[in-house]
Amino acid sequence: ARAAAAEQASGPGRTRDGHPVALLANIGGPKDIAAALEHGAEGVGLYRTEFLFLDRAAPPSLDEQRDAYRAALDAFPGGKVVVRVLDAGADKPLAFLSATDEPNPALGVRGLRILRRHPDVLATQLAALVAAAEGTRAELQVMAPMVADAEEAAWFAATAGQAGVASAGVMVEVPIAALRARDLAGEVDFFSIGTNDLAQYAAAADRQVGSLSAHQDPWQPGLLDLVAATAEAAGAVGKPCGVCGEAAADPALACVLAGLGVTSLSMGASALPLVRVALASNTHEQCRNAAAAARAARSADQARAAARAELPGLA
C-alpha cells in the first residue's frame, strides 16, 4: 500500500483503473525545469518561448535559443518536450514584432499570424529547435499558437517538416478551430487545447479584464463542448490531444478532461501532485460520467457540482 501511495505521488499519470493521462509541465524557460522535475512531470507539455524574446530589441540568436531548448530536452530523457513557437501579440506584446496600433490586439495579428509575416523569425526558431534535439533522448514536438483553420495548420506542419521537425501540432484556442477540428486533425501530428484563449474567444471576454473572470470560467458547458469536439476529432484519427491551459490544473476538471478524451494534461508544476492524485482516485469510467454530467449542466457552477458528484475519489 505504501508503494502504491508513493507511486500515486510521483509516477506517470493514470486513472484508478490504469488509463494513462500523461502529466506534463508548463515552463517559460530553463529556470522552470527544476520545479517540473521535482513535481514529477513526465515531460514538458507547453514551453512558452515568448519569455526568451521579451524585453529585447531583436530576437535571441539561434545559438542562444538552441541552448534554452536543449536544457529542457536534456532534463527529460525518454519523455516528450512540446515547444510552442513564438506566440507574440495581444497579452504578450514584443516591441520588434507586434503592431501597437491595433484597436483589438487579442483579435489582431498575433501568434502564427505574426510568424507568417516574419518567416525569418520562425525559420531561426525552428532551426534552433532542430539543432537542440540533435543527439538528445527526449522527443521534441513543436506546435503553433493561434491557429484558426486547416490551411494554417497545413502551412505550419509543412514549414516545420521542411525545417526538420519530426512532430508538428497546433494549439486549439480559436473556437472555429475546435468546431472544425476534424478538418485540422488530418494536417498535424497532435493537438494541444489552450483553454485560456479558447475561453476568452468563446465567451467574448477579455482574459486580461479581471472583472470578466466569471465569463472565463473553464467549467462553462459551452467550453467543455469545444474541448469534446476537439478531443473526439483527434481520437477519431488516433492522434494525441492535450490540454495546456489553466483548466488542466484543477483536479476535478482534470478528471473531466480525461473523461472527454484528452490524452495529456500540462500545467504549472506545483499543480501536478494534486492532479495526479485526483486521476489515480477515479476510474476512467467515472471520469467519462463526470464529463457527461458536466456537459449536461446549464452553468459553470452546476457543471462543477454535477461532475464532483460523479467523482467519489476526490478529496
According to the annotation, is 173 in a ligand binding site? yes
> Cβ 173 to ligand PEP, closest distance in Å?
5
Q: Which residues of the chain form contacts with ligand PEP (CB under 6 A)?
A: 46, 48, 87, 173, 194-197, 244-245
Contact 191, 170 (CB under 8 A): yes
According to the annotation, is 113 in a ligand binding site? no
According to the annotation, is 134 in a ligand binding site? no
Q: How far is CA 223 from CA 67, 207, 313, in A?
A: 37, 14, 24
Contact 184, 170 (CB under 8 A): yes
The verdict on whether 241 is a catalytic residue reads no
Question: Is 28 or 235 the residue whose CB approaches ligand PEP more closely?
Answer: 28
Distance CA 217, CA 212 (A): 9
Q: Which partner from the list Mg ion, ligand PEP, none does 244 bind, CB cut-off 5 to 8 Å by kind?
A: ligand PEP
String of contacts with Mg ion for each residue 132-151, x by CB under 5 A: --------------------
E-assigned strand segments in 85-125 = none
Distance CA 120, CA 219 (A): 39
Size of the site for Mg ion (CB under 5 A): 3
According to the annotation, is 2 in a ligand binding site? no
What residues from 180 to 209 belong to the interface with Mg ion (CB under 5 A)?
194, 197
Distance CA 92, CA 111 (A): 9
According to the annotation, is 137 in a ligand binding site? no
> Cβ 1 to ligand PEP, closest distance in Å?
37
Contact 234, 241 (CB under 8 A): yes
According to the annotation, is 196 in a ligand binding site? yes
Question: Is 148 or 311 the residue whose CB approaches ligand PEP more closely?
Answer: 148
Question: Is 262 or 297 the residue whose CB approaches Mg ion more closely?
Answer: 262
Number of H helices, E strands in the chain: 15, 8
> Cβ 192 to ligand PEP, closest distance in Å?
8
Residue carrying C-alpha cell 484597436: 103
Hey, which residues does 139 pair with through a beta bridge? 80
Distance CA 46, CA 246 (A): 12
Burial class (CB in 10 A: 0-12, 13-18, 19+), 122: buried
Q: Which partner from the list Mg ion, ligand PEP, none does 266 bind, CB cut-off 5 to 8 Å by kind?
A: none
> Cβ 59 to Mg ion, closest distance in Å?
20
Q: Give the three-class secondary structure for 86.
A: coil
Catalytic residues: 244
Binding footprint of Mg ion on the chain (CB under 5 A): 173, 194, 197
Would you list which residues are annotated within the binding site for phosphoenolpyruvate?
Answer: 48, 84, 196-197, 207
Would you list which residues are annotated within the binding site?
Answer: 48, 84, 173, 196-197, 207
Would you list which residues are annotated within the binding site for Mg(2+)?
Answer: 173, 197
